[in-house]
């Protein structure tokens, strides 16, 4: 049976550029928020929001590669008529050793009902890191450039696999109806 989780590859140069964007950004940087507040026992991260209308070249290059991945996803599942676009704000997230999104969750909740698909790109490779989907009984390793797209609903409940001794960088966001 199909699990509707599909992967693609983003260039290593874009991954490096997104990490640098995170490191040098001060305007949109904050501790990771869950439910409108910092909860390190749930999610321990430093997030930088980037916007789909950004003029930054690395953000535009990433969004271009992400668009190709979206087209491949919709073609693979024969849903080319799905009129979705990235949400306005998306995130580059840094997880320190021992940090991560530690609890199971899904992406379509009360305030995010318009989210249809989730995307995530691993910006670096992490031993004993990655993502785990509960109901699909699936674990995917964090490999630099690997981009995953999957449905946003509760059936795709997932969490990060926390590395005790390595940092992890991801870019993540959502596709919503245009």
How far is it, in rounded angstroms, from Cα 171 to Cα 157? 18
pLDDT of residue 25: 93
Neighbours of 30 (CB within 10 A): 12
State both tokens at 117. 């698909």
pLDDT of residue 64: 97
pLDDT of residue 1: 73
pLDDT of residue 113: 74
Neighbours of 168 (CB within 10 A): 24
State both tokens at 17. 């550029």
User: DSSP 3-state helix, strand, coil percentages of the chain (rounded to 5)?
Assistant: 20, 40, 35
10-residue stretch averages of pLDDT, the chain, 178 residues long: 94 98 93 82 92 95 96 91 85 97 89 87 96 98 98 96 97 92
Contact by Cβ (8 Å): 151, 174? no
pLDDT of residue 35: 76
| Triad 90, 94, 99: Cα angle to 5° | 120
Kind and range of the H or E element at 126?
strand 126-133
pLDDT of residue 29: 94
Q: What is the pTM of this model?
A: 0.95
pLDDT of residue 18: 98
pLDDT of residue 114: 86
């Amino acid at each position: 049976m199909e699990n509707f989780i599909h992967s693609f590859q983003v260039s290593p140069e874009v991954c490096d550029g997104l990490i640098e964007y995170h490191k040098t950004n001060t305007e949109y940087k904050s501790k990771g928020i869950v439910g409108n507040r910092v909860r390190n026992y749930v999610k321990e991260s430093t997030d930088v929001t980037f916007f789909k209308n950004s003029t930054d070249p690395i953000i535009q290059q990433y969004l271009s590669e992400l668009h190709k991945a979206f087209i491949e996803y919709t073609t693979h599942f024969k849903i080319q008529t799905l009129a979705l676009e990235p949400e306005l704000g998306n995130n580059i997230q840094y997880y320190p050793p021992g940090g991560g999104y530690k609890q199971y969750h899904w992406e379509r909740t009360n305030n995010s009902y318009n989210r249809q698909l989730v995307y995530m790109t691993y910006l670096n490779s992490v031993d004993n890191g990655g993502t785990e989907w509960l109901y699909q009984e699936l674990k995917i390793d964090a490999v630099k450039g690997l981009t995953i797209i999957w449905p946003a609903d509760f059936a795709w409940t997932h969490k990060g696999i926390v590395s005790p001794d390595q940092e992890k960088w991801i870019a993540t966001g959502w596709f919503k109806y245009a």
